[in-house]
Amino acid sequence: MKNGLYSVHVDLLDGRTGKGSGVVVFRDGRILGGDAYLFYVGHYIIEGSVFKGELQVNQHTRSADVNLIFGGQSQPVGIGVSGSFTDTGGTMTGTALVGKASQIFTATLRKLADAD
């Protein structure tokens, strides 16, 4: 990924229903981001126009009336991702281990600002 601030829009796959969105910074191999309830911390590597990474998702704010796709866990949720990118955005797929269940998802990234 090009260093920058990106919007991220997540859709669950594999017959599950759920969406999420937030912002994420890709910078020099580090991933940092979040939304109103969750924050993400991780790392990535680049091979050509493809990237691979791992991150952990933690819930920072509880809400009884919101069903979070990666939330509600007492422990961090581990996620592996891979995708491709251009100068203005990217797409990625990933697998999250939520409790004892895997959740497969896809995400669209749109570059909002440079982070150099």
3-state secondary structure string across 11-61: EECCCCCCEEEEEEEEECCEEEEECCCEEEEEEEEEECCEEEEEEEEEECC
In the chain the domains, ranked by start, together with CATH numbers, are 4-114 (2.40.128.380)
> Using one digit for the tens of pLDDT, what is the confidence trace for 22-72?
999 999 999 999 999 899 999 999 999 999 999 999 989 887 777 777 767
> Using one digit for the tens of pLDDT, what is the confidence trace for 70-108?
767 778 899 999 999 999 999 999 999 887 888 999 999
Q: Name the pTM for this structure.
A: 0.89
